Amino acid sequence: MAVEAIRTGLPVIIAGGLGAWPALSHWSFERLLRDHGDWVVPVSVFRHGALSPEKEMCRISELIPRILPFPSWPLCYLQQVPLAEWPRALAECIGPPPGLAPGTPMDAYLWCGPHGASSPLHYDTRDNLHVLLRGHKRFLLFAPDQSPLMYPHAEDGAQHLSRIDVERVDRRAFPRFGRARGLRCVLGPGEVLYLPTRWWHQVHLWAPSISVNFWWTKEQGATPQGEQRS
């Protein structure tokens, strides 16, 4: 099922694809605090909207108390911590991502943030599986053919980022965005969102959330074990 979903080339939620991942039952904010409180992580601190975070390093024991209260201010978001930097006990709690052939080259990252945190509107240059383990996240999705309505940055290396703050759209500055037609979905615990490459997306946390994502190149994965690739 997961393989077929990925092959469509369209965003899709894959329910029940995680099997017996230990992280489904073992990961929680309380356990992170208890078992990994001394782990030092990079944190994005949002004081002035989703487009201008400040960066700092802090311990998990300092971060979790800033994530759980509601409302939480400033918004502190642990973003994109690579698998190689996780404590071994955390890394051992994740299983193979659904729909990908064993041995597929991929990169895994950890995300952990509070209710109200958002990502900027952007696209990825590789296919993405976003696995939610705790909380709820809302995704706004726009197909690649709507790129002219997304107002991407012109600078080299930043064309994948939109200049629009989706939570506070300036309609005068970005009038074409009003013509954009997208998709909206909400991801819950244990669900996986497949995001094809170059699909624009913006993420908003509806509750304190913990998630893992996998980036890979589609031509290298989504092939069941034993099937030959042409």
Residue 177 in contact with residue 164, Cβ under 8 Å?
yes
Q: What is the dihedral of CA 35, 37, 43, 49, to 10 degrees?
A: 90
Type and span of the H or E element at 29: helix 29-36
Give tens-digit pLDDT for 20-71. Answer: 899 999 999 999 999 999 999 999 998 876 667 899 999 999 999 999 998 8
CA 72 to chain centre: 20
Dihedral (CA of 133, 187, 190, 104) sign: negative
In this structure, how many other beta carbons lie within 10 angstroms of the beta carbon of residue 86?
20
**% residues pLDDT > 70 (the chain):** 93
pLDDT value of residue 101: 86
Q: What is the mean pLDDT of residues 62-85?
A: 93
What top-level class would CATH report for the domain 2-210? Answer: mainly beta
Q: How many Å apart are CA 200 and CA 124, to the nearest integer?
A: 8
What span, in angstroms and rounded, lies between the C-alpha atoms of 57 and 140?
Answer: 29
CA atoms lying within 13 Å on the CB side of residue 40: 3
d(CA 183, CA 119) in angstroms, rounded, equals 16
Query: Domain residues of the chain, as ranges?
Result: 2-210
- Any idea which of 14-23, 154-163, 218-227 has the lowest mean pLDDT? 218-227
pLDDT of residue 220: 58
d(CA 74, CA 49): 10
Question: Lowest mean pLDDT: which of 98-102, 184-188, 220-224?
Answer: 220-224
| CA–CA distance, 95 with 176 (Å, rounded to integer) | 42
Whether 183 and 140 have beta carbons less than 8 Å apart is answered as yes
Global pTM value: 0.89
Average pLDDT of every residue of the chain: 90
What is the predicted pLDDT for the residue at 50? 65
Rounded to whole angstroms, the Cα distance separating 13 from 186 reads 9
pLDDT in tens, 194-230: 999 999 999 999 999 999 999 999 765 543 332 322 2
The answer to whether the peptide bond before residue 71 is cis (omega within 30 degrees of 0) is: yes
